[in-house]
Amino acid sequence: MKKSIFVLSLFFIVGSVFSQKVKMGEFTDQDIELTEVSFEKDADAVVLWEQGQSKFYSGLLETSYFFRVKILKESGKDRGDVRISYYVGDDRIEDINGIKATVTNFVNGKPEEEKVGKENIFDVEIGDGWREARITFPNVQVGSILEYSYKKSDKNITLLDGWTFQNDIPTLASTYEITIIPQLDYRMIGQGEKYFTTTEKEASNGLYRWTLRDLHSLKEEPYMKNYNDYKERVEFQLAAYQAGSSGGYTSGPEWKDVLSNWVELGNEVLSDYKEKGYFRSNPIEKEFLSVDFSGETEKEKAQKAYYFFQDNFILKDDGGFWPEQWINPLLKSKSGTPEELNLALMGVLKSMGIECAPVLIGSKGNGRSNLVPFPFLKQFNEIILIATLDGENYYLDLSDPIAPFGYVGLNKHVKAGLLLVKDQSALIPIDIKHSSNTIMMTDVTISEENVIEMNNTLRTYYYEGLKVARVAKRLKDDNEPIEKLFKEQDGITFSEIDLADDLQEKNYISTKFKMTKEIGDGETLIAINPLTFTSYSKNPFTQEYRVFPVDFGFAFAETYNAKIHIPEGYELDDYPLTERITIPGNAIAFSYSSTAMDGVVNIVAKFEVKNPMIEPVLYPDLKFFMETVASKLSAPVILKKITKP
Amino acid sequence: MLYSLFSLLLFVGLFDFQDKADTPQFIPNHSILKEKQTITVGDGFDYTIRKEITLKVVDRDGLDHAFTSLFYDKLVEVKDFQLEATDLSTGKVIEKAKLKDMKDAAIYSTSSVFDDNRHKYYELETVRFPLEVKIQTESYHSTNFYFPTWIPVHHTFQKVDESILEVIYPESVGIRFKELNLLGTQTEEKLPDGRVKLTWIEKDLPIQGVDFETDDDHKVLLAPQKFAVDGVAGTMNDWEGLAAWQFELNKGRGELPEEFKSKILALVEGVDDIYERVSILYDFLQQNYRYVSIQLGVGGWQTMKAEDVVKYSYGDCKGLTNLMKSMLEVAGIPANYTLVLAGANKDDIEVDLPSNQFNHVILQVPTDNNPIWLECTSNLLPAGFLGDFTKNRHVLVTQEGGGYLTKTPSYNSDFWNKISGTSTLEIDAQGNANIFSSRQLEGNFAEEMMMLKHYLDEREQRDYFNKNSPVSGLIIRDYLLDVKKQDSIPTAKLEFEGHVARFAQATAKRLILKPFLGKITEDMLSNSSLNLEESYEIKLPEGLETESVLEDTKIDEDGLQVSLTNQVENGKLLVRRTINLNIPEEMEEESKEELLKRLNQLGQRSYYFTKSSPNTN
């Protein structure tokens, strides 16, 4: 992935106003004595201190980085290998110099400092404009303090790298300073729980400083869709710069706005799309002259165009919202990234007179699934389309090679986006409606041959259906039989599998299948568990506690209906009790009911996620809830052979 | 006896894959390949590989088959690349590319800090099918120490019309080879200039599906008779030759500073037992020197100097092994630098083709009895215990002037595969239970615990045990995981106290205990031996009666003794399981699966108790 580049020609010099608060090789008693982190006692290493100091110099941003890490356990010694990646591009956009590193070991309490020699620092060209500086610390022991510093210059002063205060190990203190010179005006945006609550902030004479302390390590948790959205961060975007005096005695310096409002930001992005030809109708119309996109309605036409792209273009997995290819090479190679294909699709729709525009979004995991309400470009990372078809709005996205028309990648289901229309760009709410539910109907009989037969119809809607479609496609691509949809179980035979993909027309996939199992001769009791195949028959939440919210992605319901026909010669002996449970706030609910009538036991269970985001404070309740659900879904119905007197 | 249906059926996401199903007869093909590969070996122990490929890409899925990646480093140079793609429906050439058009990137390794491995690559982008792609490549290798294995079928769903391998070499250098699963022809020809040409031709090879076993792949393994790396020459006619060369390459790189030598001698002063001396020095290495992967040119084969490892306190497998060897020598214990093909699931090497088939180094310390083996990159394992990474396989021991092939221990006796444990549970009226469990693992089973203790933090460790508990719903309140080394045996003691939500299921009339005995997994049989002893004491709520007869089970067969006893006494269910198993190493996978099924069927029973006063809906 390439970095987006905004380079402004600005030439001014300001002196540094900073003095380093922490100096290499000068340790506090706390640094030396620390053997464990109070809030993460089993951490194998800790960032004692890290700081970044940014200043502008000759039109560049120069940031001095300094890190101090202590090794607390044997497994933490891996921290002795450090990699610093930076983007050079074609024009040394970023550059790193002045790497210094030392390791200090304490022998009988006395520090023994060793400088890391040049033979242990080297630079690797990774490819695609990226390089990596690597430091290998010698003599890394438990108790060692590793320190390294370097300077990075960056030509991109429109969108600054900013600072991430959190690491994958705990951080005792992380500080970032930037001196904003009078000639530049930046917009700043912060993120994270601590950032808004306990940050020590300072600002005077253009100097801004943030210090965050006692930060937990960042670790992925299950059911977490937007990991990066929780990082403690601060970012910057240029809002205006002083272009110089207009020359007269009376006029002051002239300020030029940079992406200062949504319209300007929109126009900036659109100008790139325009430059690359995505708004030129000529090449598009010429290319698709012989393709039949006709239809009775706008929706029909748009569908034809969408499926044409899906069937005839290759999707590359590199994403973003800046297309690399121009329209002509894209049309020639028929291969492009999602944003390129989306823009080309827009071109086709527009050429047919359909109203269509790109929408920038910050997908889940990009760090900004909740947008900030001012024109901050970095919060966006993907593009979808909005098209008005026969008076109704549709969201379109070509990022999934098998998704039906109107489906948008789930990570793009965010609350708002930036509609890009020349001189009219504005934030719009996004509401992609879908009911990705699951309905399962099961009919259980016991044959005369003593075989339990379960005839099932599983109907999966929308994005749940798409999941099934993906597995089915993978099987087809790998030339595997459709029976492999199911996990093998001892003694159970799957047969009569029939998968009907009606996603495009009806938004569901129906999977019919039969499961059979023989009953041994002479059994007097038969236990039948008709619902143990369900998604939540095993509790997915095994972690002791939760740092981040549980995110189910979207609201949904799974409904199960099983009819067990009691065969002749048997009677119903026992079955699970009716139950209805939820957690405080009612974000998730489960109901289970069982009735017996006319020789049939009817079980209906419903698992419903009403609010997909569940806060960590509710995690113990959720965990117990899910365990109860799992237990209930695997509870048996017991039939007993009638003994003749 | 009750009969339980569908008790473990799960979908992945919604669905999961099942392992067994009839494979369809017809396998589609996405590309058709015709290839000629010529390896020309020079007098200077170098060689070039030239490939001429004609590939018909049938459909979009075959486009990956036209992806070209050419490896290079300090010993390998990419000389030529030409590509021409023709749209077969129009006959028009749609793309041409040369060496300058290739992209260049590091072969990124997250584990290797020092490396110079790179590749030049070219990716064809088109949607016009069918497509004919002609590719020519040439790479120059400055050493004939290693030849790539010739495998004519490159991809699944690829049809190979014809694939030719030609190897031209001067007799003064020589070539040896091993053929596996070939269906075609092989000829040998003496060229007018005195060189020898070997030719293999494979035609119309079967298309391989995703379930194709790599062991069945057609291939030719090549090795030199004489070779040189960076001017250091050797012979590879037998294992001795390769071992002697390796020894020579590292010669003089084991010198240690005097001060360090004194430190070593002080560490073992007064200790006579050889295992103890080795163990002390191995501990010293483990505590003070860390593993760093280094893959730079000849550095791939030659060790860092021992004094440099001492200086920096880090080294790769060669450097750490060489240092340990030197330390032992200072202590008067000779040891042998030993080459191994490492990897938990790696096949053994081809023992009848002496050649460089290795990717790792360990140390062998000969004793009067069995040698002591040391994995010098591990800072966890006890001296004398090789983990999954290097155990039970052929290795090449190197010594001055030669060496020999031998096998590392398999740790397949009872002694190395012990698990014992007791658990006590108390179930409340709602079916929830408090649990206290204690488990002792020895040998191979303790290795996993060592890794777990080392690499996971406490929360992750708890989660691991919660997740891997045979009964779902376990929440560990307090636990202790203590890993130790008893001489060369790793041991682990796990104790935990916690709560199991819904341990028992309640129906109107019954309380049902779901299967709670741990499943015997395929991994547990991987050492061909299992010695398991476990007992459960479960206190039941009041007012329950045993519904069915609690039958005991016993199996007593050659290599397999199993006992499962159940009884209810004073309101407690007592379950005890013992398994003593010794299976032949060469046991077929299917037989293993059957055995597992049998063992687990015994353990996967539910216990039913009737309530004296049933609930009603």
Using alpha carbons, select from B217, B215, B216, B237 the residue that is nearest to residue B226.
B237
Q: Which residue of B has its CA nearest to A123?
A: B114
Q: Which of residues 498-527 of B touch A (CB under 8 A)?
A: 501-502, 505-510, 512, 514
B440: closest CA of chain A, how far (Å)? 23
From the list B290, B379, B507, which residue is nearest A575 (CB)? Answer: B507
From the list B2, B19, B210, which residue is nearest A525 (CB)? Answer: B2
More confident residue, A605 or A365: A605
Q: Are B213 and B224 in contact (CB under 8 A)?
A: no
- The answer to whether the Cβ–Cβ distance between B21 and A574 falls below 8 Å is no
- The answer to whether the Cβ–Cβ distance between A630 and B502 falls below 8 Å is yes
Coil/strand/helix, residue B211: coil
Tell me yes or no: is domain A29-244 CATH 3.20.20.70: no
Contacts of A594 in chain B (CB under 8 A): 617
Percent of chain B residues topping a pLDDT of 70: 93
How far is residue B399 from each of residues A517, B223, B306, B341, B365, measured CA to CA in Å?
62, 21, 17, 18, 12
Summarize the confidence of residues B349-363 as an average pLDDT: 95
**Predicted pLDDT of residue A10:** 43
pLDDT at B2 over 60: no
State both tokens at A556. 């949904």
Angle between helices B274-288 and B258-268 (to 10 degrees): 130
pLDDT at A591 over 70: yes
More confident residue, A619 or A317: A619
**Predicted pLDDT of residue B87:** 94
Whether chain B has a CB inside 8 Å of the CB on A338: the answer is no
**Predicted pLDDT of residue A337:** 93
Q: Which residue of B has its CA nearest to A219?
A: B460
State both tokens at B173. 């250098």
Summarize the confidence of residues A183-195 as an average pLDDT: 87
More confident residue, A523 or B449: B449
**Predicted pLDDT of residue A14:** 41
The runs of H, that is alpha helices, within B556-617 are: 589-603
More confident residue, A258 or B65: B65
How far is residue A500 from each of residues A512, B12, B18, measured CA to CA in Å?
8, 19, 20
Assembly ipTM: 0.84
Q: What secondary structure, in 3-state letters, does A105-139 show?
A: EEECCEEEEEECCHHHEEEEEEECCEEEEEEECCC
Which CATH entry fits the domain spanning A438-641: 2.140.10.10, 3.40.50.150, 3.40.50.970, 2.60.120.1130?
2.60.120.1130
- Model confidence band, residue B10 (pLDDT cutoffs 50, 70, 90): very low
- Residue whose structure tokens are 């998704």: A403
User: In degrees to the nearest 10, what's the CA dihedral of A634, A638, A639, A645?
Assistant: 170
**Predicted pLDDT of residue B278:** 97
State both tokens at A297. 């309605």
Summarize the confidence of residues B59-71 as an average pLDDT: 94
Q: Which of residues 406-435 of B touch A (CB under 8 A)?
A: 431
pLDDT at B328 over 90: yes
More confident residue, A243 or B541: B541
Whether chain B has a CB inside 8 Å of the CB on A465: the answer is no
Whether chain A has a CB inside 8 Å of the CB on B127: the answer is yes
Q: Are B396 and B403 in contact (CB under 8 A)?
A: yes
From the list B11, B462, B514, which residue is nearest A544 (CB)? Answer: B462
Q: Are B85 and B131 in contact (CB under 8 A)?
A: yes
Contacts of A578 in chain B (CB under 8 A): 617
Whether chain B has a CB inside 8 Å of the CB on A262: the answer is no
Contacts of B104 in chain A (CB under 8 A): 125, 127
- The answer to whether the Cβ–Cβ distance between B1 and A523 falls below 8 Å is yes
Summarize the confidence of residues A177-197 as an average pLDDT: 88
From the list B23, B113, B457, which residue is nearest A42 (CB)? Answer: B457
- Model confidence band, residue A114 (pLDDT cutoffs 50, 70, 90): very high
User: In degrees to the nearest 10, what's the CA dihedral of A543, A545, A550, A552?
Assistant: 30
pLDDT at A537 over 90: no
Q: Which residue of B has its CA nearest to A465?
A: B14
Contacts of B212 in chain A (CB under 8 A): none
Percent of chain A residues topping a pLDDT of 70: 93
From the list A313, A489, A527, which residue is nearest B8 (CB)? Answer: A489
From the list B7, B113, B126, which residue is nearest A136 (CB)? Answer: B113
- The answer to whether the Cβ–Cβ distance between A529 and B23 falls below 8 Å is no
**Predicted pLDDT of residue A286:** 86
- Architecture of domain A262-429 in this structure: Roll (3.10)
CATH number of this structure's domain B31-231: 2.60.40.3140
How far is residue A234 from each of residues A160, A295, A367, measured CA to CA in Å?
10, 50, 11
More confident residue, A448 or B251: B251
Question: Cα–Cα distance between B197 and B41 in angstroms, integer?
Answer: 10
Contacts of A630 in chain B (CB under 8 A): 472-473, 502
Q: What is the 8-class DSSP label of residue B347?
A: P
Contacts of A333 in chain B (CB under 8 A): 125-127
A582: closest CA of chain B, how far (Å)? 16
Summarize the confidence of residues A304-311 as an average pLDDT: 95
Q: Which of residues 187-226 of B touch A (CB under 8 A)?
A: 209-211
B223: closest CA of chain A, how far (Å)? 32
Summarize the confidence of residues B122-132 as an average pLDDT: 90
**Average pLDDT of chain B to the nearest whole number:** 89
Tell me which of B11, B111, B462 to substitute to probe the interface with A (most A C-beta atoms closer than 10 Å).
B11
Any residues with CB less than 8 A from the CB of A81 and at least 6 apart, and which?
A: A134, A135, A136, A137, B113, B292
More confident residue, A578 or B533: B533
Other C-beta atoms closer than 10 Å to the C-beta of B344 total 10
- The answer to whether the Cβ–Cβ distance between A126 and B3 falls below 8 Å is no
> Residue length, chain B?
617
Tell me which of B1, B7, B10, B14 to substitute to probe the interface with A (most A C-beta atoms closer than 10 Å).
B14
pLDDT at A303 over 60: yes
How far is residue B122 from each of residues A130, A565, B81, B84, B232, measured CA to CA in Å?
18, 62, 9, 12, 35
More confident residue, A122 or B167: B167
Question: Cα–Cα distance between A196 and A355 in angstroms, integer?
Answer: 41
Coil/strand/helix, residue B457: coil
Question: Cα–Cα distance between A199 and A206 in angstroms, integer?
Answer: 18
Other C-beta atoms closer than 10 Å to the C-beta of A51 total 22
B355: closest CA of chain A, how far (Å)? 32
Tens digit of each residue's pLDDT (9 = 90 or more) over A253-297? 788 888 888 999 999 999 999 999 998 888 888 888 888 999 999
Q: Are A323 and A269 in contact (CB under 8 A)?
A: no
Q: Which residue of B has its CA nearest to A528?
A: B5
* CATH top-level class of B414-611: mainly beta
Question: Cα–Cα distance between A509 and A560 in angstroms, integer?
Answer: 16
Other C-beta atoms closer than 10 Å to the C-beta of A120 total 20
Q: Are A607 and A590 in contact (CB under 8 A)?
A: yes
Dihedral sign for Cα atoms in the order B326, B331, B337, B338 = negative
Tell me which of A526, A638, A640 to substitute to probe the interface with B (most B C-beta atoms closer than 10 Å).
A638
**Predicted pLDDT of residue B42:** 96
Q: Are A179 and A54 in contact (CB under 8 A)?
A: yes
CA B503 to chain centre: 36
Tell me which of A544, A564, A619, A641 to substitute to probe the interface with B (most B C-beta atoms closer than 10 Å).
A544
Kindly list the domain boundaries of chain A, sorted by start residue.
Answer: 29-244, 262-429, 438-641
Percent of chain B residues topping a pLDDT of 90: 67
B330: closest CA of chain A, how far (Å)? 22
* CATH top-level class of B239-407: alpha beta
- The answer to whether the Cβ–Cβ distance between A134 and B459 falls below 8 Å is no
**Predicted pLDDT of residue A447:** 87
Phi, psi of B459 (to 5 degrees): -65, -40
Q: Which of residues 323-352 of B touch A (CB under 8 A)?
A: none
Question: Cα–Cα distance between B598 and B480 in angstroms, integer?
Answer: 33
State which H helix or E strand residue B168 sits in: strand B158-169
Q: Are B430 and B503 in contact (CB under 8 A)?
A: no
B498: closest CA of chain A, how far (Å)? 11
- The answer to whether the Cβ–Cβ distance between B505 and A634 falls below 8 Å is yes
B549: closest CA of chain A, how far (Å)? 13
**Predicted pLDDT of residue A408:** 96
- Residue whose structure tokens are 């921290």: A79
More confident residue, A145 or A485: A145
pLDDT at A344 over 70: yes
Phi, psi of A353 (to 5 degrees): 85, 15
**Predicted pLDDT of residue B115:** 73
**Predicted pLDDT of residue A251:** 60
- The CA-CA-CA angle for residues A84, A86, A89, to 5°, reads 160
Count CB pairs under 8 A between chains A and B.
Answer: 248
Question: Cα–Cα distance between B502 and B513 in angstroms, integer?
Answer: 9
Long-range contacts of residues B97-104, Cβ cutoff 8 Å, at least 24 apart: B97/B122, B102/B68, B102/B70, B102/B78, B103/A127, B103/A128, B104/A125, B104/A127
Tens digit of each residue's pLDDT (9 = 90 or more) over B257-266? 999 999 999 9
Question: Cα–Cα distance between A116 and B292 in angstroms, integer?
Answer: 15
Using alpha carbons, select from B540, B525, B534, B543 the residue that is nearest to residue B585.
B525
Q: Which residue of B has its CA nearest to A476?
A: B28
A188: closest CA of chain B, how far (Å)? 34
Contacts of B209 in chain A (CB under 8 A): 478-479
Tens digit of each residue's pLDDT (9 = 90 or more) over A12-34? 344 344 444 688 999 999 999 99
Percent of chain A residues topping a pLDDT of 90: 56
Dihedral sign for Cα atoms in the order B324, B406, B592, A487 = positive
Q: Return the minimum-mean-pLDDT range out of A223-232, A418-427, B3-12, B256-265.
A: B3-12
Q: Which of residues 77-96 of A touch B (CB under 8 A)?
A: 77-78, 80-81, 83
Summarize the confidence of residues A583-587 as an average pLDDT: 95
pLDDT at A104 over 60: yes
- The answer to whether the Cβ–Cβ distance between B311 and A138 falls below 8 Å is yes
Whether chain B has a CB inside 8 Å of the CB on A634: the answer is yes
Tens digit of each residue's pLDDT (9 = 90 or more) over B419-451? 999 999 999 887 889 999 999 999 999 999 999
- The answer to whether the Cβ–Cβ distance between B10 and A537 falls below 8 Å is yes
**Predicted pLDDT of residue B15:** 32
State how beta strands B92-98 and B112-115 pair.
unpaired
**Predicted pLDDT of residue B25:** 58
Whether chain B has a CB inside 8 Å of the CB on A333: the answer is yes
Question: Cα–Cα distance between B328 and B268 in angstroms, integer?
Answer: 10
Whether chain B has a CB inside 8 Å of the CB on A515: the answer is yes
